[in-house]
Amino acid sequence: DAQVVAHHIALWDPAAADGQGRWSALCNPSPPTRCNQGGIGEGEDRSGDIGKLEYVFALALHEPTSRLFVGGIFESAGQVFAPIQSLAVYDLKTMAWKRVGHGISGPNVVIHSLIIPANDPEKLYVAGSFQVVDKQNEDLFFTGQVSHSV
């Protein structure tokens, strides 16, 4: 059996492999998504330092659109340096990761809980430690780098 690289999130399909089951990463390396990290974060920063804290704490499935919302502590999803901070959505049909809205920000952002209410499934409630939601500029903040508005 081949090992599967799956950073902080994976899928177990019990019906795959003729009922033997199979693990897979939430990642599609083929175009157009070109996912290159097997999920959330990669365990290193831009300088290659290992030891970053990266966790997934919350999942919420929006069944009508086959989208899986993922919250926790991370700085990227799908692409190694795709700047998606602590809240991402994975499309189970296209196998693509995206930012939710314009994203969230603040120092030490952590998402602890995600809920899509059964009586109002078009809403996503997000709980955690953050200061700004749906930021309207595209400032990207990385340690040791200067950020500018476009």
Per residue in 110-139, pLDDT tens?
999 999 999 999 999 999 999 888 865 444
- The structure tokens 């196998």 sit at 95
- Cα 86 to Cα 100: distance, rounded to the nearest angstrom: 10
Per-residue confidence (pLDDT) for residue 139, from 0 to 100: 43
Per-residue confidence (pLDDT) for residue 122, from 0 to 100: 92
Pairing of strands 104-105, 132-133: antiparallel
Per-residue confidence (pLDDT) for residue 147, from 0 to 100: 34
Q: What are phi and psi of 55, to 5 degrees?
A: -140, 155
Nearest to 126 by CA among 143, 110, 108: 110
Per-residue confidence (pLDDT) for residue 42, from 0 to 100: 61
Which residue positions in the chain have pLDDT lower than 70? 1, 31-34, 36-38, 42-52, 81, 135-150
- The structure tokens 């200067």 sit at 146
Per-residue confidence (pLDDT) for residue 86, from 0 to 100: 93
Give the side-chain half-sphere CA count within 13 A for 41. Answer: 22
Per-residue confidence (pLDDT) for residue 140, from 0 to 100: 41
Q: Tokens in use for 38?
A: 């097997």
Contact status, residue 86 vs residue 130, Cβ threshold 8 Å: yes
Per-residue confidence (pLDDT) for residue 69, from 0 to 100: 97
Per-residue confidence (pLDDT) for residue 47, from 0 to 100: 53
